[in-house]
Structure 1
Amino acid sequence: MTTISPITAAGASAAAKPLDPRLKQAAQGFEAIFVRQMLASARKDNFGDTLWGSDQGHDTFTAMRDEKFADITAHSGTLGLAKQIEDQLAGKGSPAIPATGAKP
Protein backbone atom coordinates (compact mmCIF):
# COMPACT_ATOMS: atom_id res chain seq x y z
CA MET A 1 0.00 0.00 0.00
CA THR A 2 1.31 3.43 -0.91
CA THR A 3 1.43 6.14 1.72
CA ILE A 4 0.71 9.72 0.84
CA SER A 5 3.09 12.21 2.36
CA PRO A 6 1.75 15.54 3.62
CA ILE A 7 2.48 18.72 1.72
CA THR A 8 5.49 20.51 3.11
CA ALA A 9 5.63 24.25 3.63
CA ALA A 10 7.82 24.64 0.54
CA GLY A 11 5.40 22.58 -1.57
CA ALA A 12 2.41 24.50 -0.25
CA SER A 13 3.94 27.88 -1.03
CA ALA A 14 4.80 26.73 -4.56
CA ALA A 15 1.27 25.45 -5.08
CA ALA A 16 -0.28 28.63 -3.67
CA LYS A 17 1.88 30.94 -5.78
CA PRO A 18 -0.43 32.96 -8.01
CA LEU A 19 0.18 32.75 -11.72
CA ASP A 20 0.85 35.73 -13.93
CA PRO A 21 -2.50 37.46 -14.59
CA ARG A 22 -1.44 38.07 -18.21
CA LEU A 23 -1.08 34.31 -18.67
CA LYS A 24 -4.59 33.76 -17.31
CA GLN A 25 -5.99 36.48 -19.57
CA ALA A 26 -4.26 35.01 -22.63
CA ALA A 27 -5.51 31.50 -21.83
CA GLN A 28 -9.07 32.76 -21.38
CA GLY A 29 -8.79 34.70 -24.63
CA PHE A 30 -7.73 31.55 -26.45
CA GLU A 31 -10.61 29.60 -24.94
CA ALA A 32 -13.05 32.33 -26.03
CA ILE A 33 -11.70 32.18 -29.59
CA PHE A 34 -12.03 28.40 -29.53
CA VAL A 35 -15.65 28.56 -28.36
CA ARG A 36 -16.48 31.21 -30.98
CA GLN A 37 -15.05 28.98 -33.70
CA MET A 38 -17.05 26.02 -32.39
CA LEU A 39 -20.26 28.03 -32.44
CA ALA A 40 -19.55 29.42 -35.92
CA SER A 41 -18.87 25.93 -37.20
CA ALA A 42 -22.08 24.65 -35.65
CA ARG A 43 -24.06 27.44 -37.32
CA LYS A 44 -22.66 26.88 -40.83
CA ASP A 45 -25.60 24.66 -41.67
CA ASN A 46 -28.91 26.23 -40.78
CA PHE A 47 -30.78 22.91 -41.05
CA GLY A 48 -33.40 24.46 -43.31
CA ASP A 49 -34.30 27.28 -40.93
CA THR A 50 -35.89 29.86 -43.21
CA LEU A 51 -38.07 31.53 -40.59
CA TRP A 52 -35.93 34.64 -40.39
CA GLY A 53 -34.34 34.45 -43.80
CA SER A 54 -30.82 35.62 -44.41
CA ASP A 55 -30.12 39.24 -43.62
CA GLN A 56 -27.13 41.22 -42.40
CA GLY A 57 -28.80 42.30 -39.15
CA HIS A 58 -29.56 38.76 -38.08
CA ASP A 59 -26.04 37.59 -38.94
CA THR A 60 -24.51 40.47 -36.97
CA PHE A 61 -26.72 39.78 -33.96
CA THR A 62 -25.86 36.08 -34.06
CA ALA A 63 -22.11 36.84 -34.22
CA MET A 64 -22.38 39.29 -31.30
CA ARG A 65 -24.40 36.80 -29.24
CA ASP A 66 -21.88 34.02 -29.92
CA GLU A 67 -19.00 36.31 -29.00
CA LYS A 68 -20.60 37.24 -25.67
CA PHE A 69 -21.44 33.61 -24.92
CA ALA A 70 -17.85 32.59 -25.69
CA ASP A 71 -16.44 35.30 -23.42
CA ILE A 72 -18.74 34.31 -20.56
CA THR A 73 -17.85 30.65 -21.00
CA ALA A 74 -14.10 31.36 -21.02
CA HIS A 75 -14.21 33.61 -17.95
CA SER A 76 -16.41 31.23 -15.96
CA GLY A 77 -14.05 28.29 -16.49
CA THR A 78 -16.92 26.01 -17.47
CA LEU A 79 -14.97 24.08 -20.09
CA GLY A 80 -11.66 24.16 -18.23
CA LEU A 81 -9.62 24.70 -21.38
CA ALA A 82 -8.17 28.02 -20.20
CA LYS A 83 -7.02 26.46 -16.91
CA GLN A 84 -5.33 23.59 -18.77
CA ILE A 85 -3.55 26.04 -21.09
CA GLU A 86 -2.54 28.25 -18.17
CA ASP A 87 -1.13 25.30 -16.23
CA GLN A 88 0.74 24.01 -19.28
CA LEU A 89 2.30 27.38 -20.06
CA ALA A 90 3.19 27.95 -16.40
CA GLY A 91 5.08 24.67 -16.36
CA LYS A 92 2.65 22.83 -14.08
CA GLY A 93 1.45 20.32 -16.67
CA SER A 94 3.30 17.49 -18.27
CA PRO A 95 5.25 18.52 -21.37
CA ALA A 96 3.89 17.36 -24.71
CA ILE A 97 7.41 16.76 -26.06
CA PRO A 98 10.17 15.27 -23.88
CA ALA A 99 12.75 17.82 -22.73
CA THR A 100 15.60 15.76 -24.18
CA GLY A 101 14.27 16.31 -27.67
CA ALA A 102 14.01 12.56 -28.27
CA LYS A 103 11.21 11.40 -30.48
CA PRO A 104 8.55 9.33 -28.72
Structure 2
Amino acid sequence: MTDVPGISTGISGVTGIDSGLGRAATKDNLAKAGQQFESVFTGMMLKSMRQAKLADPLFDSQAIDTFRDMSDQKVVQQMAIHTPLGIGKAMTEFLSRSQPDLNADGGSQPG
Protein backbone atom coordinates (compact mmCIF):
# COMPACT_ATOMS: atom_id res chain seq x y z
CA MET A 1 0.00 0.00 0.00
CA THR A 2 2.94 2.32 0.54
CA ASP A 3 6.04 2.96 -1.54
CA VAL A 4 8.29 3.01 1.52
CA PRO A 5 10.51 -0.09 1.66
CA GLY A 6 10.32 -1.96 4.94
CA ILE A 7 7.05 -0.32 6.01
CA SER A 8 3.63 -1.87 5.56
CA THR A 9 0.36 -0.21 6.39
CA GLY A 10 -2.90 -2.12 6.75
CA ILE A 11 -6.47 -0.91 6.46
CA SER A 12 -6.61 -0.11 10.17
CA GLY A 13 -3.53 2.11 9.89
CA VAL A 14 -1.30 -0.26 11.86
CA THR A 15 2.27 0.16 10.75
CA GLY A 16 5.04 -2.42 10.85
CA ILE A 17 8.57 -1.12 10.41
CA ASP A 18 11.42 -3.36 9.32
CA SER A 19 14.25 -3.34 11.85
CA GLY A 20 17.01 -3.27 9.22
CA LEU A 21 19.34 -0.57 10.57
CA GLY A 22 21.26 -0.18 7.31
CA ARG A 23 18.15 1.10 5.53
CA ALA A 24 17.77 4.12 7.83
CA ALA A 25 21.22 5.44 6.95
CA THR A 26 20.27 7.52 3.91
CA LYS A 27 18.64 10.92 3.65
CA ASP A 28 16.07 9.59 1.20
CA ASN A 29 14.94 6.84 3.56
CA LEU A 30 14.88 9.27 6.46
CA ALA A 31 12.67 11.65 4.47
CA LYS A 32 10.33 8.79 3.53
CA ALA A 33 10.14 7.74 7.18
CA GLY A 34 9.24 11.31 8.13
CA GLN A 35 6.53 11.34 5.48
CA GLN A 36 5.19 8.00 6.75
CA PHE A 37 5.23 9.33 10.33
CA GLU A 38 3.22 12.34 9.19
CA SER A 39 0.73 10.03 7.48
CA VAL A 40 0.31 7.86 10.59
CA PHE A 41 0.00 10.90 12.86
CA THR A 42 -2.59 12.55 10.62
CA GLY A 43 -4.49 9.25 10.37
CA MET A 44 -4.65 8.96 14.15
CA MET A 45 -5.86 12.55 14.38
CA LEU A 46 -8.56 11.96 11.76
CA LYS A 47 -9.65 8.73 13.47
CA SER A 48 -10.00 10.57 16.78
CA MET A 49 -12.12 13.23 15.11
CA ARG A 50 -14.36 10.57 13.57
CA GLN A 51 -14.84 8.92 16.98
CA ALA A 52 -16.18 12.18 18.41
CA LYS A 53 -19.65 11.66 16.98
CA LEU A 54 -21.57 14.89 17.02
CA ALA A 55 -24.74 13.36 15.62
CA ASP A 56 -26.21 9.97 14.82
CA PRO A 57 -25.59 8.97 11.21
CA LEU A 58 -28.58 8.54 8.95
CA PHE A 59 -27.22 5.32 7.46
CA ASP A 60 -24.77 3.27 9.50
CA SER A 61 -23.26 -0.10 8.70
CA GLN A 62 -20.00 -2.01 8.98
CA ALA A 63 -19.46 -1.66 5.22
CA ILE A 64 -19.71 2.13 5.40
CA ASP A 65 -17.27 2.20 8.32
CA THR A 66 -14.78 0.01 6.41
CA PHE A 67 -15.05 2.15 3.28
CA ARG A 68 -14.63 5.33 5.33
CA ASP A 69 -11.49 3.90 6.99
CA MET A 70 -9.99 2.99 3.61
CA SER A 71 -10.86 6.40 2.22
CA ASP A 72 -9.37 8.15 5.25
CA GLN A 73 -6.16 6.15 4.87
CA LYS A 74 -5.74 7.30 1.26
CA VAL A 75 -6.58 10.90 2.20
CA VAL A 76 -3.95 11.05 4.93
CA GLN A 77 -1.32 9.50 2.64
CA GLN A 78 -2.01 12.16 0.02
CA MET A 79 -2.05 14.88 2.68
CA ALA A 80 1.40 13.77 3.89
CA ILE A 81 2.71 14.01 0.32
CA HIS A 82 1.03 17.17 -1.00
CA THR A 83 -0.01 19.29 2.02
CA PRO A 84 2.00 18.14 5.04
CA LEU A 85 1.37 19.54 8.49
CA GLY A 86 5.11 19.75 9.12
CA ILE A 87 5.45 17.20 11.89
CA GLY A 88 7.13 14.71 9.54
CA LYS A 89 9.70 17.30 8.46
CA ALA A 90 10.38 18.21 12.07
CA MET A 91 10.87 14.54 12.94
CA THR A 92 13.20 14.08 9.94
CA GLU A 93 15.30 17.08 10.97
CA PHE A 94 15.44 15.86 14.57
CA LEU A 95 16.56 12.38 13.55
CA SER A 96 19.12 13.69 11.04
CA ARG A 97 20.82 15.68 13.80
CA SER A 98 21.49 12.43 15.67
CA GLN A 99 23.24 10.96 12.60
CA PRO A 100 26.27 13.14 11.82
CA ASP A 101 27.23 11.03 8.78
CA LEU A 102 24.02 12.19 7.03
CA ASN A 103 24.84 15.85 7.68
CA ALA A 104 28.40 15.42 6.36
CA ASP A 105 27.09 14.49 2.86
CA GLY A 106 26.88 18.15 1.92
CA GLY A 107 23.31 18.59 3.11
CA SER A 108 22.41 21.92 4.63
CA GLN A 109 20.84 21.11 7.97
CA PRO A 110 20.25 23.99 10.37
CA GLY A 111 22.42 23.64 13.46
Match of 1:89 among 95, 99, 102: 95
Query: Is the CA contact 1:31–1:82 (under 8 Å) kept in the aligned structure 2?
Result: yes
Matched with 1:11 is none
Identical counterparts, % of pairs: 32
SS at match of 1:73: helix
Matched with 1:74 is 80
Amino acid in structure 2 at the alignment position of 1:40: K
Listed as ranges, the matches of 1:14-93 within 5 Å are 20-53=27-60, 55-91=61-97, 92=109
TM-score by length of 1: 0.64
Deviation of the 1:48 alpha carbon = 1.9
Greater gyration radius: 1
Q: Alpha-carbon deviations, 1:17-66, whole Å to 9, x = none?
A: xx61110111111111101100110011321232112x111011110111
For structure 2, the residue ranges without an aligned partner over 5 or more in a row are 1-25, 98-108
More strand as a share of residues: 2
Query: Is the CA contact 2:38–2:80 (under 8 Å) kept in the aligned structure 1?
Result: yes
SS at match of 1:34: helix
Alignment coverage as a number of residue pairs: 75
Q: Which has the higher contact order (CA 8 A, sep 6+)?
A: 1
Question: After TM superposition, which residue ranges in structure 1, 4 or more long, deviate above 4 angstroms?
Answer: none
Deviation of the 1:73 alpha carbon = 1.1
**RMSD over equivalenced CA pairs, Å:** 1.7
For structure 1, the residue ranges without an aligned partner over 5 or more in a row are 1-18, 95-104
